Amino acid sequence: MRPIEYASPRTKEQAVRLLASTWGETAVLAGGTDLLSLLKDDVIAPRRLVNIKEIEELRGIAFDPRKGLRLGALVTIEELLDDPRVRQHYSALAEAAEGIRSPQIRNMGTVGGDLCQRPRCWYFRAGFGLLARDAQGRSLVLHGDNRYHAILGNEGPAYFVSPSSLAPPLIAYEARLRLFGPGGTREMPVQAFFRIPQSEEEREHDLRPNEIVTEILIPPPRGEASATYEVRQREALDWPLATASVALQMDGDRVTAARIVMGHVAPIPWLSPEAAQTLVNKTITEDVAQAAGEAAVRRARSLGRNGYKIQLARVAVKRAILRAVQGGAR
């Protein structure tokens, strides 16, 4: 790794003062599992690291049945997984946390870091930029190895997939995110934090270079049936190929409203109102879940070598719905 400056502030005000106002100059260090890989591979070469792990107010899980769940950005994946209140009230979130491998990564990685980690696109990791273009400006993805690239939201110029495991369930629960920067606090739905970059100067997050994620706020449980289902190549040490998180508001056996979000299929976590709409006023059966899966991928398209992911996403949606109503049964 290259020599670098290091600062370890105690407050979020100090932290944002240490961060530069342009990308590339400085980087935020929390769990470090993604950042150190990016530094070692020379994908980024900032002049200074700002360690935010000593900022006490970014820690902690708080739950109140009337206010909901508050996760500090520094809560580790293992802390999230070990919290019985999370498992009881927000099973889709607990199941997604379980999918983050390995145990060592879960001990280090943080909730804020899961949302801010950079895409796994192998062109990006090899230094060809977020949009992976050649010297003539043509997409390397469209003419190259796109087995793991997007099947939705892939009209271009971005073809990578969002790597976040926790964003799909957080969006299903309509969670909000708080950021802190020189101008103070900004709050937005988690969904609005993610965006599809249109140029190499843009990022996949609505995060400014001198802002940090401070906390995540999830609304109180409304008795919804929820679950996450992941399809993966390997059980250990890998990112999933396609995932779905669902949150269903129920009146007895009948679905009154639904949120369905797919992960690892598009440059952003992919909310599917089309799939959700098919469930309204229905009782969940295998056929109903299957129809929602069909609706979720109706607009999906293969880039050449990733067509198989359309079937995986369809199945992930179907199985997440069935798991939600079966109370988390596998």
Q: What share of the chain is helix, strand, coil (3-state, %, to 5)?
A: 30, 25, 45
Q: How far is CA 278 from CA 90, 113, 193, in A?
A: 23, 34, 27
Q: How far is the CB of 103 from other proteins (least distance, A)?
A: 5
Query: Of the candidates 46, 40, 6, which has an alpha carbon nearest to the alpha carbon of residue 24?
Result: 46
Residue ranges in 33-62 that form contacts with other proteins under rule CB under 8 A: 33, 36-37, 39-41, 49, 51, 53
Question: Binding string to other proteins for residues 260 to 299, with x set by CB under 8 A, is what?
Answer: ----------------------------------------
Backbone dihedral angles phi then psi of residue 91, each to the nearest 5 degrees: -65, -30
Question: Binding string to other proteins for residues 98 to 127, with x set by CB under 8 A, is what?
Answer: ---xxxxx-xx-------------------
* Cα 54–Cα 59–Cα 64 angle in degrees, nearest 5: 165
By CB under 8 A, residue 14 contacts other proteins: no
Binding region for other proteins (CB under 8 A) out of 32-40, 267-275, 292-300, 313-321 = 32-40
Q: In the complex with other proteins, which residue's Cβ is closer, 2 or 66? A: 2
By CB under 8 A, residue 67 contacts other proteins: no
Question: Binding string to other proteins for residues 219 to 248, with x set by CB under 8 A, is what?
Answer: ----------------xxx-----------
By CB under 8 A, how many residues form the interface with other proteins?
29
By CB under 8 A, residue 330 contacts other proteins: no
Report d(CA 33, CA 126) in Å as an integer: 17
Residue carrying structure tokens 């399809």: 231
Task: Please report how the helices 308-325 and 286-296 are oriented relative to each other, as an axis angle in degrees rounded to 10.
Answer: 140
Q: How far is CA 95 from CA 100, 245, 267, in A?
A: 9, 9, 22
15, 19, 29, 300: which one binds other proteins (CB under 8 A): 29
Contact 102, 238 (CB under 8 A): no
**List of residues contacting other proteins (CB under 8 A):** 1-6, 8, 29, 32-33, 36-37, 39-41, 49, 51, 53, 78, 101-105, 107-108, 235-237
